[in-house]
Amino acid sequence: MMRASLQMLKVSWKSLLTALMRWLRNWRNEDYEATGRIIVRETLRLRRLVKDLHLMAKVEAGGMRGIQPQWKSVRLAALVDEVLAVLATEFERANVEPLNAIAYHLPLVQADPDMLMRVFSNLCDNALRHTPPGGTVTFDAVQYGSQLVVSVADSGEGIPTGALPRVFDRFYRGDSSRQAMTGGSGLGLAIVRAIVEAHGGTIWAQNVPNSGAALLFTLPLASSEQASTSGAITTPIP
């Protein structure tokens, strides 16, 4: 992992330095604002990469004990609304429509809200990199016994059958267009799996007929006592 991590940091630093050099050359020109936005974006991407590497290092050092959820009762539909509000600009830039089809009447889940936001943020990032302009990313969930089965489905090109079991592996790069030239760190989906498993859930990928790919995972339901005593996100985002 160390060699791959250093290579990713090298690429990210190179992108940031390239943007800074462009800004210095063009600071008197009309490209000033556009280049400034590139610098901000690359800086945020580098910061996120460092956080991803830090989290994966914790997982490698302590397994699932390296991730300790702070349990609360969470209304999933409201949490996804919050994530989509934060990422609205990213969806607009990609010309992709997010569709939150998760019903508000579903039972609360027992989870760490911050970790769940990280899960959905990473899944959104993955879906946006593989969904063409004019496409959609749909969020849905159904109750199955004592858990919710959550899905995030894009309208992209799908995943080769042979790659489906490996898409959550660290640094995995398939040979399809889903993996080529998309700029991902190779850690986003591995982090999603680590967080889901720390919640006692499972995660898998499948293709949607006549559409793109869907990433699905399970979350435990909150008990009635937990739902009544824990601070929960329960209302829609205006």
Q: What is the pLDDT of residue 104?
A: 96
Q: Same structural domain for residues 32 and 105?
A: no
Say which range, 34-43, 88-97, 198-207, 211-220, has the weakest mean pLDDT: 34-43
Q: Same structural domain for residues 93 and 130?
A: yes
Q: Same structural domain for residues 148 and 223?
A: yes
> 100: domain range?
72-229
Q: Same structural domain for residues 89 and 177?
A: yes
What are the two backbone dihedrals, phi and then psi, of residue 47, each rounded to the nearest 5 degrees?
Answer: -65, -40
Q: Same structural domain for residues 219 and 102?
A: yes
Residue with tokens 């956080």: 51
136 is a domain residue: yes
Q: What is the pLDDT of residue 210?
A: 82
Residue 235 binned pLDDT confidence (cut-offs 50, 70, 90):
very low
Q: Which residue has the higher pLDDT, 133 or 36?
A: 133
Of the candidates 204, 221, 129, the residue with the CA atom closest to the CA atom of residue 167: 204
pLDDT in tens, 154-184: 999 898 888 888 888 876 655 444 444 344 5
27: its two tokens = 């600071």
pLDDT in tens, 107-136: 999 999 999 999 999 999 999 999 999 999
235 is a domain residue: no
Q: Same structural domain for residues 120 and 177?
A: yes
Q: Same structural domain for residues 33 and 97?
A: no
31 is a domain residue: yes
234 is a domain residue: no
Question: CA-CA distance, 205 to 185, in Å (whole number)?
Answer: 19
Q: Same structural domain for residues 135 and 165?
A: yes
Domain boundary among 47, 66, 85: 66
Q: Which residue has the higher pLDDT, 13 or 110?
A: 110
Looking up residue 77, the CATH number of its domain turns out to be: 3.30.565.10
237 is a domain residue: no
236 is a domain residue: no
Q: What is the pLDDT of residue 17?
A: 62
Q: Same structural domain for residues 136 and 189?
A: yes
Q: Is the dihedral of CA 68, 70, 76, 82 positive or negative?
A: negative
Q: Same structural domain for residues 192 and 105?
A: yes
What is the number of structural domains in the chain?
Answer: 2
Q: Same structural domain for residues 12 and 120?
A: no
Across the range 21-46, mean pLDDT stands at 62
What are the two backbone dihedrals, phi and then psi, of residue 143, each rounded to the nearest 5 degrees?
Answer: -85, 135
Q: What is the pLDDT of residue 27?
A: 55
Q: What is the pLDDT of residue 65?
A: 61
pLDDT in tens, 15-32: 656 666 665 566 555 566
Domain boundary among 44, 66, 88: 66
Strand order in the sheet with 147-154: 97-100, 136-144, 147-154, 213-220, 203-207
Q: Same structural domain for residues 23 and 56?
A: yes
Its pTM stands at: 0.76
32 is a domain residue: yes
124 is a domain residue: yes
Q: What is the pLDDT of residue 16?
A: 58
